[in-house]
Amino acid sequence: MEVVRYPGPCPTLPGGSVVTIGAYDGVHLGHRSIIDRVRKLAADRGMASAVITFDQHPARLVRPESAPLLLTDPEQKLELLEATGLDLLLVVRFDQERAHESPEDFVREVLVGCLETKALVVGEDFHFGHRRRGNVGLLRTMGAEAGFEVDGVDLLGPDGQVADDAHQVSSTAIRTALAAGDVGRAAELLGRNHEVRGVVGRGDGRGGPELGFPTANVSVPDDVLLPADGIYAGWYTRPDGTRHRAAISLGRRPTFYETAHASLLEAHLLDFDDDLYGERAHVAFVARLRGEERFDSVEALIAQMGRDCEQARRLLSS
């Protein structure tokens, strides 16, 4: 896949292109069904397949007070899009000027002027441009004038069939599942386990010396969505690509702190003993074992942590 940053030199597309456009946060099964359609249309017509996305989620600039937390950070989104087999990824800088741009100007500048779009595939509910005034109807009108067709597709369920609003694969549905700690449901909609990334830092030093369960304290960016507080089974991937089973604690450590701290992500790697400080970790959530609890004694907490680790080991070995 060729990755092009825009504004900047446009790619050379002598035969034109088949394009889709969107924030593509999560690159979930719904996104991938649209991308598959783009690739098929492009192959049938001998054109380049392309996706347009943005360097930040538009809502973070347009309505920062209610912008959703991200399912994928920019690095992960790029990796997932590159893995789809598309020919081209156009990453558009989303700034104040772009936020106030009319949908008509965006179509003329980017779709027609830069990518020489001959066919556009988007969800039927797609909106874009200033005040979200652009929609499939406007695209079809402009496409008839500019020489590109528009394929507005219905949103699908996890089984690949057209679904009603309550069962559609969407970033909103995935966020709702994660907010409830239902990482299994989120995985069904994503087509993979929900994963977050961050750098391992030093915690309060309690995990190994006091509790006997050393943990990697992973600092996840504030704009990335974490599941609900609780204990999870999952996978920890190191920078060299090695993957380790892990019991993951996500929460505010109520056994030790009376006042609410920010949620802390701690991963105890099973059957592992090495220094992880300073490395960039990928943490994937497979199953929720239980909610976060306050224990009456450190001994009771240690006993429960042992049971959590054994349950995680069993789940991840099956």
Contact 292, 226 (CB under 8 A): no
Contact 298, 210 (CB under 8 A): yes
Contact 202, 293 (CB under 8 A): no
Taking only the tens place, the pLDDT of each residue in 100-114 is 999 999 999 999 999
- What is the pLDDT at residue 175? 97
- What is the pLDDT at residue 295? 86
pLDDT at 259 over 60: yes
- What is the pLDDT at residue 263? 84
Domains of the chain: 2-172 (3.40.50.620), 195-317 (2.40.30.30)
- What is the pLDDT at residue 255? 61
Spatial distance between the Cα atoms of 267 and 269, rounded to a whole number of angstroms: 6
Q: Sorting pLDDT into bands at 50, 70 and 90, what band is 284?
A: very high
Beta sheet of 2-6, edge-to-edge order: 2-6, 88-92, 48-54, 17-21, 117-123, 149-153
CA angle at 21 for the pair 18 and 26, rounded to the nearest 5° = 125
- What is the pLDDT at residue 160? 57
Stated pTM of the model: 0.91
pLDDT at 21 over 90: yes
Taking only the tens place, the pLDDT of each residue in 190-238 is 999 999 999 999 876 555 556 788 999 999 999 999 999 999 999 999 9
Q: Sorting pLDDT into bands at 50, 70 and 90, what band is 57?
A: very high
- What is the pLDDT at residue 278? 96
- In this structure, what DSSP letter does residue 224 have? B
Instruction: Take residue 128 and report the two structure tokens written for it.
Output: 């874009």
Mean pLDDT confidence for 80-99? 96
- What is the pLDDT at residue 229? 95
pLDDT at 288 over 70: yes
Per the model's pLDDT, the better-predicted residue between 244 and 206 turns out to be: 244
Taking only the tens place, the pLDDT of each residue in 136-167 is 999 999 999 999 999 998 865 565 555 555 56
- What is the pLDDT at residue 293? 87
Residues in the chain: 318
The share of the chain scoring above pLDDT 70, in percent, equals: 91
* Least-confidence region, from 10-19, 84-93, 197-206, 250-259: 250-259
Lookup result for tokens 């597709």 = 153
- What is the pLDDT at residue 210? 62
pLDDT at 116 over 90: yes
Mean pLDDT confidence for 274-282? 95
The share of the chain scoring above pLDDT 90, in percent, equals: 81
266 as an active site residue: the answer is yes
Instruction: Take residue 135 and report the two structure tokens written for it.
Output: 């929609």
Query: Could you say which of 266, 279, 292, 299 is catalytic?
Result: 266
**Nearest alpha-carbon partner for 38 in 22, 25, 26:** 22
Q: How many CB atoms lie within 10 A of CB 92?
A: 21
As a whole number, the mean pLDDT across the chain is 92
